[in-house]
Amino acid sequence: MTAGVRARNESAWLLPNDGTRTNHRLRRDMRRFADDDEVDLVIVGCGAGGSVLAQRLARAGWRVVALDAGPFWDPDTDWVSDEAGSHHLYWTDPRVIAGADPVPLGSNNSGRGVGGSMVHYAGYTPRFHPSDFSTLRDDGVGADWPFGYEELRPYYAAIEQELPVAGEHWPWGDPHGYPHRPHPVGGNGELFLRGAGKLGIEARVGPVAIANGRFGNRPHCIYRGFCLQGCKVNAKASPLITHIPDALAHGAEVRADAMVTRVGMDERTGRASGVHYVRDGASRFQRAAMVAIAGYSIETPRLLLNSASPRYPDGLCNEFDQVGRYLMVQGAPQSAGRFDAEVRMYKAPPPEVSSEEFYETDPAKDYKRGFAVQTVSPLPITWAEHVAAQGHWGRALRDYMSDYVHWACLGSLCEFLPLAGNRVTLADETDCYGLPVARFAYSQCDNDRALLAAAQHVMEDILTAAGADEVITIKRYAHLVGGARMAKDARHGVVDGRCRTFAVPNLYITDGSVLPTQGSANPALTIMAVTARAADHLISGARGGTG
Ligand SMILES: Cc1cc2nc3c(=O)[nH]c(=O)nc-3n(C[C@H](O)[C@H](O)[C@H](O)COP(=O)(O)OP(=O)(O)OC[C@H]3O[C@@H](n4cnc5c(N)ncnc54)[C@H](O)[C@@H]3O)c2cc1C
Ligand code: SF4
């Protein structure tokens, strides 16, 4: 297996083998393009989607520049194993939130810098289920994708090998195995397995993109629990270490600290001509034969709207008022249980054990679709946020904090439905570049609320069955996707099944914005698989957007 992966993505072998975490020579010697070189492809954003696209197309011989608004991280010097000290990883630029159920934006949503949000994601990498691709046809809710699960299966398997993913055999959705064996579990995972077992609920270890054993020059996990702060060890996968080194080795340029402000358009031909960006305080323009946007579900629609011009007065690709719509967030309630024995949930990766028993529509219930349950294991500051969100302050908050080592914590991911009114528009406020910031309005529907209640009951039952003497639950959100969704035509979405925008033949979107539904699965693996599929299409003949 390893030889096959190395033949198509050498990233893990390009990292140093001397105890340091960054191949400085590769970065120093990377190919550099001039702004007025017309490269084959310029990519906006080096996260889950952008990095996979850069790696695939650089390997195919394309001249690629990938711009990211944030830094080119060096895990040795830029990351610390400290919750408070890791805030610089997040995209914390101003944004406006609105709607009946506004979604707080910041640390729990998106990252800034090469590697994108996966630098500080937890590391769960489940596949979507086959049913996620046809929820409208089969359940009468959500949307249908322009293609089915089978089209994505080989890309799931390929990315799972490249990350690589560790876990038990997965019985749900399309049953499959993983390239690395499951990790041993800590106290939180053990309690989840115990409680679920008592209730007859199937739960399994994984799937996590954390090396279980050495992988190339990446060391194995040392179970220190700082996955959401950027793994200094390089055991947890993020594109910074899984796709960018190979992209550089094949001639891609990664231009960090470069904030793209608008897509350049040839008003006469209606084709993209490159991107305007700001770097070191200077406004610049990178010429390109093709543009791909991969800036995350908030920034991608914002960039399209900020790219309005006389030919596109309502924003790029927005002729049918689709940009920014159907933005989804998963309902992510979190239940914590107290145990007499010490749990010490920080002594393991937060992602350990999950159950997809409740993922599919159950005809006996009065709601459609479902939810997944996973271990989450907050570190102390996040634990304080959990307790405070329950309404505990002062002395009570201190008591809960002193008792931290006795608590276990589970989280659910509820499949909230895509609704047209949940969308990004432009606010009146502007950012430091003078650009209107994103305004994100979000409201839940009755189905969403029913799912939240059902997930809460299941988590509390599991913790109680495991022996918890007190259980507290808070409501929260996770994982934004959608906002520039795939559809069969321009009246229903922004891109086609291969991520090409309907409006501009040489403009692609390759990030989480294109997902029409979200299932109850964490999205990063699917974003990478969808991008790898789009890359294959480009490689097979669409250079310059003519395919
Ligand atoms: C705390 C947390 C935990 C998570 N846990 C999981 C998990 O366990 N499993 C999972 O699957 N997912 C998880 N996620 C979600 C996952 O990380 C994201 O869904 C995924 O990374 C999104 O991929 P993307 O390509 O859409 O955007 P990103 O990976 O966020 O990449 C976008 C990049 O674009 C750059 N950018 C944006 N705008 C511009 C611009 N105008 N110019 C230049 N650059 C720009 C940003 O700096 C960023 O680097 C988690 C996320 C968070 C925040
Ligand atoms: S628990 Fe493992 S994957 Fe997570 S930060 Fe520590 S070494 Fe990295």
Q: Are 30 and 243 in contact (CB under 8 A)?
A: no
Distance (Å) from CA 539 to ligand 2 centroid: 35
| pTM for the structure as a whole | 0.98
Looking at residue 546, its pLDDT comes to 47
Looking at residue 543, its pLDDT comes to 56
264 CA to centre of own chain: 27
Strand partners, 293: 44, 509
Cα–Cα dist 520/416, whole Å: 9
Ligand 1 atom 49, closest CA: 116
Q: Cβ of 306: how many Cβ atoms within 10 Å? A: 21
Cis status, amide bond into 182, omega within 30 of 0: no
Strand partners, 473: 335
Q: Which two tokens stand for residue 191?
A: 């309690």
Length of the chain: 547
Looking at residue 74, its pLDDT comes to 96
Neighbouring C-alpha atoms within 13 Å toward the C-beta of 110: 29
Q: Which of 400, 419, 34, 344 is nearest to 191 (CA)?
A: 344
Q: Are strands 204-205 and 353-355 parallel, antiparallel or unpaired?
A: antiparallel
Q: Which of 41, 40, 44 is nearest to 302 (CA)?
A: 44
Q: Look up tokens 């944030």; give the residue.
A: 70
Would the CB of 483 count as within 6 Å of ligand 1?
no
Complete domains list, the chain, with CATH:
2-76+95-540 (3.50.50.60)
Atom of ligand 2 nearest to the CA of 348: 1
| DSSP 8-state secondary structure symbol assigned to residue 438 | E
Mean of pLDDT over the chain: 95
Cα–Cα dist 121/527, whole Å: 14
Atom of ligand 2 nearest to the CA of 208: 3
Q: Which of 86, 99, 91, 175 is nearest to 130 (CA)?
A: 175
Question: Exposed/middle/buried for 294, CB within 10 Å: 0-12, 13-18, 19+?
Answer: buried
Q: Is 260 left (phi over 0), alpha (psi -120 to 50) or beta?
A: beta
Looking at residue 109, its pLDDT comes to 72
Would the CB of 185 count as within 6 Å of ligand 2?
no
Distance (Å) from CA 348 to ligand 2 centroid: 8
Considering every ligand atom, which ligand is closest to the CA of 263? 1
The helix (run of H) or strand (run of E) holding residue 260 is strand 259-266
Distance (Å) from CA 111 to ligand 1 centroid: 5
Q: Are 473 and 333 in contact (CB under 8 A)?
A: yes
Distance (Å) from CA 423 to ligand 2 centroid: 35
The helix (run of H) or strand (run of E) holding residue 380 is helix 380-389
Distance (Å) from CA 80 to ligand 1 centroid: 20
Q: Look up tokens 């959608």; give the residue.
A: 482
pLDDT lower than 50: segments of the chain: 546-547
Ligand 1 atom 35, closest CA: 45
Atom of ligand 2 nearest to the CA of 229: 5
Ligand 2 atom 7, closest CA: 221
Neighbouring C-alpha atoms within 13 Å toward the C-beta of 276: 14
Alpha-helical regions (H) of 163-279: 187-199, 239-242, 244-249
The helix (run of H) or strand (run of E) holding residue 77 is helix 75-78
Question: What does residue 424 show for φ and ψ, rounded to 5 degrees?
Answer: -95, 130
Atom of ligand 1 nearest to the CA of 115: 49
Q: Cβ of 453: how many Cβ atoms within 10 Å? A: 12
